[in-house]
Amino acid sequence: MKEQRDHALDLTKLIMAFLVICIHTDPLESYSDTGNFILTRVIARVAVPFFFMTAGYYFFVKSRSMSQFVKYMKKLGVTYVLWSVIYLPVNMYVWMNEGFTKEWLLHYIKQVIFIGTYYHLWFLPALMCAITIVYFLQQRMQLRWIAAISILLYTIGLLADSYYGLAVQAPVLNDIVNGYLAVFEYSRNGLFFGLPFVALGALIAKELPQWKLSDALCEFGLLFSFGWMVFEAALLQILGWPHYDSMYLMLVPVVSLGFISLLRLDIRDKSFYRYASDISMVLYLIHPAVILAVRALSLQLPILKVSSLLYFFVIFILSFALSHLWVRRKRYAAKTSLG
């Protein structure tokens, strides 16, 4: 069974992959601390929640059988294992420098399950966790209740992320949050971060036609909530509260209203849109390897580090080129096959 694609979502996924690369390269760092903060710590923070919401929307837009669920989990699992193997040499390098110990092995096992085997790969186990929870819960309760519970979990997760400074002011919360972080390191995971946006994506897929939301209301709500997110992010930095800055309270309405607005765009079908969807995830997965390569190259070519914008564009162009080859690998293999 193939779901109908939404071209606005597919095209936006490519933009979001671009923003993720911005987060990891700080393109405006050489020019403006404020501009770089707004780009990488505010605007670009919508990218990963958007990926979660899109996955939830596409998976739950139609009823799924257990066999389809298992097939989807298998696909995510194989992708996770494949890219974990690709990034294994980096972990091996750390092991060779720090020494192989029982503690290192236990930490790596914890990474595999909860954190991700490399700093960006957390998304895949988090997505698997979130899809699984929503899939089984929606057989027992309404999606709106699942979404409500997940938003409550997101609010709790904020205390271990951008609202950490608020949590540590209360002795009991301080012990709970720090105890949690000592084990799991982040609340940016499938339960506290992935679940809300997957659940909201599923809810939008099933119930959006019943909601009486005008285009004007969605657009105004999007601008209004985004303005408040900028204010929220700036205020939290001034207060010095964030332990991490992946999660903001206003991310929920910003991503939700933006997602709904995209669904209402009427875009004619073009082959590029599906290509944009395919290449966006490869860009997400491959760009940290390119960052490592460019960092090593910059030791021989210091000009790459002279400008943060140049550094960013070199990484983006190389990442895009490699991602294109990955997406088109079967076509190119067929063209070059002697058979």
* Averaged pLDDT of the chain: 91
Question: Between residues 335 and 178, which one has the greater pLDDT?
Answer: 178
Closest to 235 in 3D by CA, of 151, 157, 166: 166
Mean pLDDT of 230-248: 96
* pLDDT at residue 116, as a whole number: 87
* pLDDT at residue 338, as a whole number: 46
pLDDT(276) > 90 = yes
* pLDDT at residue 3, as a whole number: 54
Mean pLDDT of 162-170: 95
**Do 108 and 170 touch, CB atoms closer than 8 A?**
no
* pLDDT at residue 1, as a whole number: 36
pLDDT(100) > 80 = no
* pLDDT at residue 101, as a whole number: 74
* pLDDT at residue 330, as a whole number: 65
Q: For 159-173, b where at least 16 C-beta lie within 10 A, e where not — what string?
A: bbbbbbeebbeeeee
pLDDT(319) > 90 = yes
* pLDDT at residue 270, as a whole number: 79
pLDDT (tens digit per residue) in 257-270 = 999 999 998 887 77
* pLDDT at residue 44, as a whole number: 97
pLDDT (tens digit per residue) in 120-135 = 999 999 999 999 999 9
pLDDT (tens digit per residue) in 208-233 = 888 888 989 999 999 999 999 999 99
Query: CB under 8 Å, gap of 24 or more: what pairs does 231-237 form?
Result: 233/37, 233/41, 233/42, 233/45, 233/162, 236/162, 236/163, 236/165, 237/37, 237/41
* pLDDT at residue 269, as a whole number: 77
pLDDT(337) > 80 = no
pLDDT(34) > 90 = yes
Mean pLDDT of 170-181: 94
